[in-house]
Amino acid sequence: DAGVIQSPRHEVTEMGQEVTLRCKPISGHDYLFWYRQTMMRGLELLIYFNNNVPIDDSGMPEDRFSAKMPNASFSTLKIQPSEPRDSAVYFCASSFTTGDTEAFFGQGTRLTVV
């Protein structure tokens, strides 16, 4: 398996535009996580899914953010409209259900909103 795949790796967009980040988890993994990382706030959990169902979205900063997982092999994180303060690195991770296992992270998407 190629690991968790995120796209794009880099995204530069203008304020007010819609941004969609994409993630392909490792095949067979039940959990998918979206994180945001900034210098000020560190690595924050935004939302996670179990078997394609959102379980906890309490970390989503506001209504401008939404995440979907239409099937076991694909998830999106959308920001609409984007703002400069959304500039960050966004990571996707996946893992198996059982507790005695680790999460695997993608390489991240560096988002810059100008």
Contact residues for other proteins, defined by CB under 8 A: 4, 31, 33, 35, 42-43, 45, 48, 50, 55-56, 89, 91, 93, 95, 97-100, 102-108
| Rounded Cα gap, residues 85 and 38, in angstroms | 10
**Pairing status of strand 53-56 against strand 109-113:** unpaired
Q: What angle do CA 99, 4, 111 make, to 5 degrees?
A: 115
**Closer to other proteins by Cβ: residue 14 or 41:** 41
Min dist. Cβ of residue 16 to other proteins (A):
28
Q: Closest approach of Cβ 45 to other proteins, in Å?
A: 5
Q: Would you say 19 or 106 has its CB closer to other proteins?
A: 106
In a 3-state reduction of DSSP, which class is residue 99? coil
CB of 66 to other proteins, least distance (A): 19
Question: Among 94, 87, 73, which residue's Cα sits nearest to residue 36?
Answer: 87
Minimal distance, residue 37 CB to other proteins, in Å: 9
The secondary structure of residue 3, as a DSSP letter, is: -
Comparing CB distances to other proteins, the nearer of 72 and 103 is 103
